[in-house]
Chain A
Amino acid sequence: GQNIDQPTEMTATEGAIVQINCTYQTSGFNGLFWYQQHAGEAPTFLSYNVLDGLEEKGRFSSFLSRSKGYSYLLLKELQMKDSASYLCAVRDNQGGKLIFGQGTELSVKP
């Protein structure tokens, strides 16, 4: 079966670092995506990992371990505008469709 797990909610303080975890069990794997979604808006693409290791993009980094079926999104120097839902999605190898987790609602407090 297909299963992607993320924590439902997280809270962090402005200026801090937060790590959002994602574990997956899918019938195939062809890359993992992270999206950010502000309330009432469309998801926007943040990062993509297909090989093991860390990908860094400014304040955001994403890590992948294929053997463990595990990824995390690391957000540094948190800002209030980072309050949003963060979606983990795995691309399968049957037509390349995306399978999404339920998303993690991150609240950044002053």
Chain B
Amino acid sequence: DAGITQSPRHKVTETGTPVTLRCHQTENHRYMYWYRQDPGHGLRLIHYSYGVKDTDKGEVSDGYSVSRSKTEDFLLTLESATSSQTSVYFCAISDRQGVSQPQHFGDGTRLSIL
């Protein structure tokens, strides 16, 4: 299994509070991704990173920011959480882009915004 750790695994918080999710990898992979998974929508890309301090927006980036100060850590921040951001969040990593390398996923964070 790819060495990917997401923390926390579960979180319940209130609308308007800031939330930070962490993805930590031990594979030294260049690419890291944050997805959200909701019923009826499948996995949707929020933000991704192609190197330290290099990030870009995905399909559903509004309300989210990311940071990558080290190869092994990719943080996802909800500056002011809303109920629509209740979801399961998955981090993924891959070694190379544009070739057959698959993305490998962490175990997910279940986030509930009340």
Contacts and interface: CB of A to CB of B under 8 A. Distances in A.
Interface of A: 30-31, 33, 41-45, 48, 50, 87, 89, 91, 93, 95-103
Interface string B94-112: 0001101011111110000
B104 A87 contact: no
A87 B58 contact: no
Interface in B34-50: 40-45, 48, 50
B103 A98 contact: yes
Interface of A: prevailing SS: loop
Contact of B108 (A31, A42, A91, A96): A42
Interface of B: 40-45, 48, 50, 56, 58, 90, 97-98, 100, 102-108
Contacts of A97: 45, 48, 58
Contact of B56 (A33, A93, A95): A95
Contacts of B41: 102
Nearest to B100: A48
Nearest to B48: A97
A33 B58 contact: no
B42 A48 contact: no
A45 B90 CA distance: 14
B40 A100 contact: no
